[in-house]
Amino acid sequence: MTGELSPIDRAKFVAAKQAAGFVEDGMKVGLGTGSTAAWLVRCLAERMEEEGIRFRGVPTSTRTADLARELGIEVISLDEAKWLDLTIDGADEFDKDLNLIKGGGGALLQEKIVATASDQMVVIADAAKEVQTLGNFPLPIEVIPFGWQTSQSLVEETLVSMDVMGRKSTLRMNGAKPFVTDEGNHILDLHLGRIGNARQLALVLNQIPGVVENGLFIDICDRVVIGFADGKVETRDINAGTVTTDQMLFEESDNLFKDLGD
């Protein structure tokens, strides 16, 4: 079955499988959103079936919650959990300091709330997500629908004084209608090209009326697990200052690969 996967999906799979091993019995775990995070949920469900571990998951979107329930994972809300042992999620970009751009899937608000309510955040990604400088991937910001065009204008005016390459922003669409987040908001994608000072930009954007949250995750990620198409997995721990490398063998798994829709 793994032979049918594309190289990018192989990389996502091995990263997710490695990170799934960080989950211990009895933990409360934040479950991310996106294609790589979907691999994680499947790997965790497989561990439950094969090893008998039990944990409770706090999903960062309705689609992650639906997948987790479908695979038999106990789902609870963040209010029920209060605090999490671990959150595992994907990223659209990460740099050497493990600062991130997230929100390509539109769940950045819940993702940031869950990640910051955790003892540790682990990012799982394929090697293509690593960049020297954040900003090539459009930076998502969540804005309330009321006066979103005014918010957009204020954002673009603010970007004039920021250390960025571009200042164009676009409303994210879902077909002919604006994309709507789980909280009923819209997403503006900022096409910046390069972000010279991500920390400053994250602080400034959140001061603009109408902006709920931005997709810059600064000083939140503790470890990144990077998958490669040949099965190599590299784990970087920003706190311990360590880099470890493992080689993962691909195995057939009907449970893991059935009904793939990601």
Check whether 168 is labelled as a binding-site residue.
Answer: no
Predicted pLDDT of residue 260: 44
Check whether 52 is labelled as a binding-site residue.
Answer: no
Predicted pLDDT of residue 86: 98
Check whether 227 is labelled as a binding-site residue.
Answer: no
Predicted pLDDT of residue 249: 82
2-131+219-257 adopts what CATH topology? Answer: Rossmann fold (3.40.50)
Check whether 30 is labelled as a binding-site residue.
Answer: no
| Cα→Cα distances 260→54, 81, 161, Å | 23, 29, 45
Check whether 90 is labelled as a binding-site residue.
Answer: yes
Predicted pLDDT of residue 4: 81
Beta bridge partners of 168: 191
Check whether 106 is labelled as a binding-site residue.
Answer: no
Residue 50, number of CB atoms within 10 A of its CB: 10
Predicted pLDDT of residue 256: 55
Q: Would you call 111 a catalytic residue per the annotation? A: yes
Predicted pLDDT of residue 223: 98
Q: How far is CA 229 from the centre of its chain?
A: 20
CA dihedral 240, 213, 39, 97 (to 10 degrees): -30
- How does DSSP classify residue 248? P
Closest CA to 103 of 113, 95, 112: 112
Beta bridge partners of 211: 143
Check whether 193 is labelled as a binding-site residue.
Answer: no
Contact 181, 146 (CB under 8 A): no
Q: What is the CA radius of gyration of the chain?
A: 18
Distance CA 248, CA 221 (A): 23
Q: How far is CA 92 from the centre of its chain?
A: 7
- Residue 161 makes CB contacts below 8 A (sequence gap 6+) with none
Closest CA to 64 of 44, 86, 85, 93: 44
139-215 adopts what CATH topology? Answer: Alpha-Beta Plaits (3.30.70)
Domain ranges of the chain: 2-131+219-257, 139-215
Catalytic residue among 93, 111, 142, 213: 111
Tell me which residue has tokens 């094969």.
Answer: 50
Predicted pLDDT of residue 132: 97
Read off the amino acid at residue 121: M
pLDDT in tens, the chain (262 residues): 455 889 999 999 999 999 999 999 999 999 999 999 999 999 999 999 999 999 999 999 999 999 999 999 999 999 999 999 999 999 999 999 999 999 999 999 999 999 999 999 999 999 999 999 999 999 999 999 999 999 999 999 999 999 999 999 999 999 999 999 999 999 999 999 999 999 999 999 999 999 999 999 999 999 999 999 999 999 999 999 999 999 988 665 545 555 444 4
